């Protein structure tokens, strides 16, 4: 958890920032803009990383890996483009044919998109504590959200525990040369995992987790709503009754919404920390809005977002003002002055 970030920005501000970042990455295939987004998102992830926490997988290194994999895969499987590097035998299945520079560049661009998306989610995960994420989940799904959050945090806890056991075994003189030397780690790791599971179960039971059972009538109402949605979809697509199917789908959606809303009202939740809106939120939202407008509004620089190397490889267009407007995603860094 990053305590400082929870005091600086509202959780919905970070969600808005993430949506704008994903929009920016998915709307462009221009390598210049994608590299700009990758660098600034990696910078946000590094700054938002809590003090004392180990450095996660470097987004830039991961982007280089995805670019290499995507470029090689597209080079070997897509035989299209004017700039031929060399030919593979035509009788080779899937791989046979000309290998072009256009296919390599297109595959590397797709890998860069994946790396930038991972960097965006990495920055969001570093800044948002689990508790703040749970508060954004509708109350009807709160038990499920808690279970998912526990499952997500279990992996890093297990890795940390395994590292501690390994260090303890090394202090006792155990040498790790082959995979068989790792067997003494398994039993302490299993016992530690069971102990953590029992402690977590006792803590959840003591706090009355999932003690409120949803009444049978609400569950039946939800099932009826989902059944109506499915029946309406079949009527529209399979049997061609568009108007009747739409009406049944609307009725089913209302039934499902009413059942979830009633179940959410029965879920009692208390909060130790109340988030408020402030100047920092206004600053981050203003930067995100500026970037979002630059991406969606029609102006002379918006055409540079689109790029394809086919059929002949060429240098993509670059609009300096567009790159400058993308820097609106760096607004969270302006709220960190004097915190760390």
More confident residue, 322 or 209: 322
Q: Do 156 and 246 sit in the same domain of this protein?
A: no
Q: How many domains does the chain have?
A: 2
Structural domain that includes position 253: 216-266
Of the listed ranges 73-82, 122-131, 142-151, the one predicted with least confidence = 142-151
For position 182, what pLDDT does the model report?
A: 66
For position 86, what pLDDT does the model report?
A: 87
Q: Do 33 and 181 sit in the same domain of this protein?
A: yes
Q: Do 202 and 87 sit in the same domain of this protein?
A: yes
For position 199, what pLDDT does the model report?
A: 80
For position 290, what pLDDT does the model report?
A: 94
Q: How confident is the model at residue 287 (pLDDT cuts 50, 70, 90)?
A: very high
Q: Which two tokens stand for residue 321?
A: 């003002």
For position 217, what pLDDT does the model report?
A: 78
Average pLDDT, integer, range 275-279: 82
Question: Rounded to whole angstroms, how far apart are CA atoms 75 and 309?
Answer: 13
Q: Which two tokens stand for residue 258?
A: 């009413």
Residue 1 clears pLDDT 60, i.e. is over it? no
Q: Which two tokens stand for residue 313?
A: 């490889």
Q: Do 226 and 295 sit in the same domain of this protein?
A: no
Q: How confident is the model at residue 210 (pLDDT cuts 50, 70, 90)?
A: low
Q: Calculate the alpha carbon distances from 327 to 25, 40, 272, 324, 336 in Å.
A: 13, 7, 34, 5, 16
Name the 3-class secondary structure at 85. Answer: strand
**Is 41:123 a contact under the CB 8 Å cutoff?**
yes
Which range in 48-62, 179-193, 289-303 is most confidently predicted, on average pLDDT? 289-303
Which residue has tokens 């670019």?
A: 67
Q: Do 118 and 148 sit in the same domain of this protein?
A: yes
Averaged pLDDT score across all residues of the chain: 82
Q: Do 139 and 194 sit in the same domain of this protein?
A: yes
Q: Do 152 and 250 sit in the same domain of this protein?
A: no
Selection from 285, 270, 213, 253 nearest residue 10 by Cα: 285
Q: Do 110 and 255 sit in the same domain of this protein?
A: no
Residue where a domain terminates, one of 202, 231, 266? 266
CB under 8 Å to 39, separation ≥6 — which residues? 60
Query: Taking the CB of residue 103, how many other CB atoms lie within 10 A of it?
Result: 25
Q: Do 6 and 21 sit in the same domain of this protein?
A: yes
Q: What are phi and psi of 99, to 5 degrees?
A: -105, 120
Q: Which two tokens stand for residue 269?
A: 């939740």
Q: How confident is the model at residue 268 (pLDDT cuts 50, 70, 90)?
A: low
Q: Which two tokens stand for residue 17?
A: 């920032």
| pLDDT one-digit tens code per residue, 133-182 | 777 777 667 676 677 767 666 766 777 777 788 788 777 776 766 666 66
For position 317, what pLDDT does the model report?
A: 92
For position 159, what pLDDT does the model report?
A: 73
More confident residue, 245 or 7: 245
Q: Do 205 and 229 sit in the same domain of this protein?
A: no
Q: Do 92 and 27 sit in the same domain of this protein?
A: yes
Average pLDDT, integer, range 74-103: 90
Q: How confident is the model at residue 19 (pLDDT cuts 50, 70, 90)?
A: very high
Based on the number of CB atoms within 10 Å of its own CB, is 276 exposed (0-12), middle (13-18) or buried (19 or more)? Answer: exposed
For position 28, what pLDDT does the model report?
A: 93
Which range in 139-143, 179-183, 234-238, 273-277 is most confidently predicted, on average pLDDT? 234-238
For position 179, what pLDDT does the model report?
A: 63
For position 256, what pLDDT does the model report?
A: 84
For position 160, what pLDDT does the model report?
A: 76
Residue 337 clears pLDDT 60, i.e. is over it? no
DSSP class of 299: -
Q: How confident is the model at residue 271 (pLDDT cuts 50, 70, 90)?
A: low
Q: Which two tokens stand for residue 304?
A: 């540079």
Residue 66 clears pLDDT 70, i.e. is over it? yes
Question: Rounded to whole angstroms, how far apart are CA atoms 53 and 37?
Answer: 24
| pLDDT one-digit tens code per residue, 30-56 | 999 999 999 999 999 888 876 545 455
Task: Specify the pTM.
Answer: 0.72
Q: Do 115 and 170 sit in the same domain of this protein?
A: yes
Selection from 148, 158, 143, 124 nearest residue 49 by Cα: 124
């Amino acid at each position: 958890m990053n305590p400082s970030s929870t005091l600086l920005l509202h959780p919905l501000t970070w969600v808005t920032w993430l949506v704008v970042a994903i929009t920016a990455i998915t709307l462009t295939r221009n390598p210049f803009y994608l590299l700009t987004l990758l660098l600034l998102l990696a910078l946000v992830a590094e700054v938002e990383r809590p003090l004392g926490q180990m450095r996660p997988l470097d987004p830039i290194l991961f982007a280089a890996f995805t670019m290499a994999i995507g470029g090689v895969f597209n080079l070997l499987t897509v035989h299209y483009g004017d700039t031929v590097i060399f030919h593979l035998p035509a009788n080779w299945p899937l791989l046979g044919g000309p290998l072009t520079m256009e296919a390599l560049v297109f595959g590397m661009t797709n890998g860069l998109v994946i790396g930038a998306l991972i960097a965006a989610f990495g920055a969001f995960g570093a800044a948002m504590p689990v508790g703040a994420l749970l508060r954004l989940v509708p109350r009807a799904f709160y038990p499920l959200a808690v279970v998912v959050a526990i499952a997500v945090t279990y992996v890093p806890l297990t890795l940390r525990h395994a590292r501690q056991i390994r260090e303890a075994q090394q202090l006792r003189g155990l040498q790790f040369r082959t995979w068989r030397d790792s067997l003494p780690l398994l039993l302490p790791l299993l016992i530690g995992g069971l102990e953590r599971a029992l402690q977590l179960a006792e803590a959840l039971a003591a706090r009355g987790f999932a003690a409120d059972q949803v009444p049978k009538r609400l569950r039946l109402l939800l099932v009826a709503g989902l059944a109506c949605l499915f029946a309406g979809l079949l009527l529209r697509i399979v049997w061609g009754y568009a108007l009747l199917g739409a009406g049944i789908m609307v009725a089913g959606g209302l039934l499902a919404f009413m059942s979830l809303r009633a179940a959410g009202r029965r879920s009692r939740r208390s909060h130790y920390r109340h988030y408020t809106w402030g100047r920092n939120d206004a600053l981050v939202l203003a930067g995100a809005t500026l970037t979002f407008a630059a991406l969606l509004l029609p102006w002379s620089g918006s055409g540079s977002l689109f790029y394809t190397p086919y059929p002949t490889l060429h240098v993509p267009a670059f609009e300096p003002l567009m790159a400058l407007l993308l820097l609106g995603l760096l607004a969270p860094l302006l709220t960190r002055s004097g915190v760390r």
